[in-house]
Structure 1
Amino acid sequence: MFFSRIAILAALAGYATAQTSTDCDPTKKDCPPDPALGTEYSWNFNTTLDEKIWKMATGTYEYEDDGAKFTLQKEGESTLLQSNFYIFFGVVEAHVKMAKGQGLVSSVVLESDDLDEIDWEWMGYNTSEVQSNFFGKGNDTTFDRGGKHHVANADTEFHNYTTYWDQDILQWWIDGEMVRELPYNDESALFGKNYPQTPCRVQFSLWPAGRKEAPQGTIDWAGGLVEWDTAPFTMTLGKLRVKDFHSGKEYSYGDRSGSWQSIEILEGNSTALNELNKPEPKSLSEKWDDLGEGAHIGVYIGAGVAGALAIAGFLFFCLRQRRKGRLENALGNNPVPLNRAEMENFQKDWRQSEWKLNGGYQQVSN
């Protein structure tokens, strides 16, 4: 971020979107451990997000075939998607279309509990540029650490924005080409003191920096006030690949230094890893294959018995209908005209059946 983050946070007063914030700073007090990713995984954001992996902290999103859509429709809205996991050094590869419109900021951010931060930011007024930046321990006393990088049609075309980060070097890549590099001991990182080096979560946001209530410097940084009469404004997140350079269940701070050497790794499978490796629901054919041979035979026998009963029922129905037809014919209710010989035969059969059953014709009593 090129402008004072204090001013930006002031501009976001009343919003729940401040991306440079922490619930607990481990350099100042004891804090809960950070749940690790502990693996490498790729997402296509064209379906419902797993709430055990991702949290929509502010606003809403919609998904389509090409990815998750973060949209601002009216004044007062903003969006922030956060991972529920942290990585301790690693790679983040995000395929993004920025939101176009003055006053808007689209961003991909890595941020730690003690406010180490690595940024990709797009100013909505310039669709041919992306900015890179970093902060260490929330230090915003200087604002000469940002970079600007050309990228064509950033609002209408997906580009691959990749962050490579380890304890020695930080790199920003666009579409497979490295555009910036920061060594750990670089002067701009205060020779390591302000180098981002603690476990970070992954965040994506679209927010309005150009608001009427914001300081003029913030409005200028964002390219002017948001023109809400031209809304909606949409940022799209397509594919995402995240690789954690460490494996483990949790990361915790061993002291108040905030150095990477102080980070302790709790061994075991992380919650995220268990969720990502959870087996998919089985199909009917897979469930059938899981049944033993005896179960298969039982199903076949059951199906055979059911079929036999169905056939027997059908034959009984046909026989009953045949007898009913005979009686209707005998009583003259058959709608099809009968000749004299057929009528006499029906009457003879009917008399014989009455004799066998009742010993002769029985008159119905009144």
Structure 2
Amino acid sequence: MARLLAFAALLAAAVIQVQAGATCGPGQALCPSSAPCCSEFGFCQAYGPYCLGGCNPLSSHTLDSCRPMPICRDKTYTFAPGNPTLVNATTYDGNSTAYDWTIDAGTPLNTNNNGGELALILTQDSRAPKGTRISTTEYVLYGTITATIKTSKWNGVVGAFITMSNIKVRFIVTGQARTKYFGKEIDWEWPGNHPLEAQSNFFFQGHVDYTAGHGATHTLSSDSYENYHDYTINWQPDQLQFSIDGNVVRTVRKEETLVDGVYQYPTSPARVQLSIWPGGLPDSPQGVVTWSGGLIQYNEPEYQAAGNQYQVLVSKVVIQCSTSSGLAVGPDTVSYMYGANDTSGIPTVYASNRTALLNDGSARYSLPFVGASAWSLIALAIGAGAALTF
């Protein structure tokens, strides 16, 4: 059960005390009109942030209950002072022009080294006990994404560079009283103390099938903790390629993913996410602990020497949007939206001129007064401050 995005469960636990709505997801009733948005972690909500990034349209009141997904634009993100701009997910208003990334958990830092590096941190204390995750405010529907990264190298610690769609399905972990939510995703991951390896993977609407060979391990030319490497996801309508330092190490063709008449291939708009998270916690599923290299050792000299934190460093992210999505994209197109299922039961996607902004005049998306204590809990869960410019 290693690659089941256990980090999502950790984030859900961090905010569950302020998610007062009914649960939602496959096999459950759609969210009511009074709380129309099915949030990333499976709760019906009526307001603001929960109708934006990660909002699951298939379990919301209607397909358009979630805000539209800002459309992909070619961008290069470096981390010199002033670039890019990050905003806490709880205060993000849907303005993808003003904000490049949301801070979903933890506290990213700038090292001010080598022209600027983004440090994703994991700590034992309250700064980032569940790790750090950031997500792009814009969505990719096919394209080439390259992240230049120095990975972690410690037992129990996982670094990740992935794409994640908003569509989630419920997956019951066998033998455990827990439910996880998974979507269409494409992964680069670095679990545990294996600095000469990187793992690639992909999932289709929560179909977790290790026997089908969706996961693979690749050898690196040099230590990924000591040296930066370029990791690329080249996601096109007909094939998916994983590359390291410009060299293709894996190709997955869509035609090879056909199962029972359905192509189990990622086809939904997705955010790019970068994270570091603790797989090796005492209460983690044993499969996750084993995959991530065992329990985290917070008494390691390197952890203490680094200011009592583990890090993943990112120096650059380059996103090149594909022009082969098949959508009718025009000069006024600003977002993607979901439509009815196609003949195989897969949700269709169309280009839209609707904005993702919460203050577009639709009262149902505005941020209500929910009490200072509740918002304080949310802010503590993902870090203080409304926006952060490096």
TM-score, normalization by structure 2: 0.62
Tell me the secondary structure at the aligned position of residue 185 of structure 1: helix
Query: Residues 144-166 of structure 1: CA distance to partner in whole angstroms, max 9, x if unpaired?
Result: 41010011210111111011111
Alignment of 1:5 onto 2:55: no
Answering whether residue 203 of structure 2 is matched by residue 135 of structure 1, we say yes
- Bigger strand fraction: 2
1:71 to 99, 111, 121: 121
Q: 1-side partners of 2:339 and 2:254: how far apart?
A: 21
Amino acid at match of 2:118: A
How far apart are the structure 1 equivalents of 2:255 and 2:231? 24
Partner of 1:216: 286
The superposition leaves residues 298-323 of structure 1 with CA deviations (integer Å, 9 ceiling, x where unpaired) of xxxxxxxxxxxxxxxxxxxxxxxxxx
**Aligned AA (1:81):** I
Q: Is the alpha carbon distance of 1:120 and 1:20 closer, same or farther for their aligned partners in structure 2, counting shifts above 3 Å?
A: farther
SS in 1 for 2:265: coil
Is the contact made by 1:27 and 1:256 (CA closer than 8 Å) also made in structure 2? no
Q: Distance in 1 between matches of 2:122 and 2:278?
A: 9
Aligned length: 270
Are the counterparts in 2 of residues 100 and 234 from structure 1 also a CA contact under 8 Å? no
Measured at CA, do residues 12 and 88 of structure 1 come closer, stay the same or move farther in structure 2, by a change above 3 Å? closer
SS of the residue 2:13 aligns to:
coil
Q: Could you report, residue by residue, the CA deviation over 1:192-215 in whole angstroms, capped at 9, with x for unpaired residues?
A: 532001100110000010001112
Show the counterpart of 1:45. 79
**What one-letter code is carried by the residue in structure 2 that aligns with 1:254?**
G
If each structure's helix is expressed as a fraction of its own residues, which one has the higher value?
Answer: 1
Residue of structure 2 aligned with 1:252, choices 312, 337, 340: 337
The aligned runs of 1:1-366 (5 Å cut-off) are 3=2, 5=4, 14-15=13-14, 23-29=54-60, 30-31=63-64, 32-48=66-82, 49-51=84-86, 52-63=99-110, 64=112, 65-74=115-124, 76-114=129-167, 115-142=183-210, 144-151=213-220, 152-187=222-257, 193-230=263-300, 231=303, 232-246=309-323, 248-257=333-342, 262-267=348-353
**Aligned-residue offset at 1:171:** 0.5
**1:145 aligned partner, one-letter code:** H
Aligned residue type for 2:58: T
| Paired letter, 2:13 | G
Amino acid in structure 2 at the alignment position of 1:124: G
Paired with 2:239 and 2:5, the residues of 1 have a C-alpha distance of 27
Cα gap change, 1:210 to 1:15, in 2 (>3 Å):
farther
Aligned equivalents of 2:195 and 2:41: distance in 1?
Answer: 24
Q: Are the aligned partners of 2:156 and 2:295 in contact in 1 as well (CA < 8 Å)?
A: yes
Deviation at 1:73, TM superposition (A): 2.9
* Secondary structure at the counterpart of residue 287 of structure 2: helix
Shift of 1:77: 3.6
Q: Are the equivalent residues in 1 in contact too, given 2:340–2:347 (CA < 8 A)?
A: no
Q: CA RMSD in A?
A: 3.1
* CA distance in structure 1 between the partners assigned to 2:243 and 2:152 by the alignment: 20
- 1:303 aligns with none
The residue identity in structure 2 corresponding to 1:146 is G
Work out whether residues 145 and 188 of structure 1, in 8 Å CA contact, stay in contact via their aligned partners in 2: no
Amino acid in structure 2 at the alignment position of 1:131: Q
Partners in 2 of 1:119 and 1:6 — Cα distance? Answer: 10
Distance 1:238 1:260, change over 3 A: farther
CA contact under 8 A between 2:76 and 2:316: conserved in structure 1?
yes
Residues 253-282 of structure 1: per-residue CA shift (max 9 Å, x gap): 1113598882111259998xxxxxxxxxxx
Distance in 2 of aligned mates of 1:20 and 1:148: 29
Aligned partners of 1:43 and 1:27: how far apart in 2?
Answer: 31
CA contact (8 A) 2:101 2:135 kept: yes
Structure 2 CA distance for partners of 1:256 and 1:28, relative to 1, 3 Å: farther
CA contact (8 A) 1:206 1:235 kept: yes
Note if contact 1:198-1:259 (Cα within 8 Å) is conserved in structure 2.
no
* Closer/same/farther in 2, CA of residues 111 and 8 from structure 1, 3 Å limit: closer
Shift in CA distance, 69/9, structure 1 to aligned 2, threshold 3 Å: closer
- Equivalent residue number for residue 329 of structure 1: none
Aligned-partner Cα distance in 1 for 2:54–2:101: 17
Taking a change above 3 Å as real, the CA distance of residues 12 and 210 of structure 1, as seen in their structure-2 partners, is farther
Percent identical among aligned pairs is 26
Consecutive unaligned residues of structure 2, counting only runs of 5 or more, are 17-39, 43-52, 87-98, 168-182, 304-308, 324-328, 358-390
Q: Residues 84, 260 of structure 1: CA spacing in aligned structure 2 closer, same or farther, 3 A cutoff?
A: farther
Counterpart code for 1:5: L
Once the two structures are overlaid, the 10-residue window that deviates more, 246-255 or 222-231, is 246-255
Q: Using a 3 Å threshold, how does the CA distance of structure 1 residues 236 and 189 change in structure 2: closer, same or farther?
A: farther
The higher radius of gyration belongs to 1
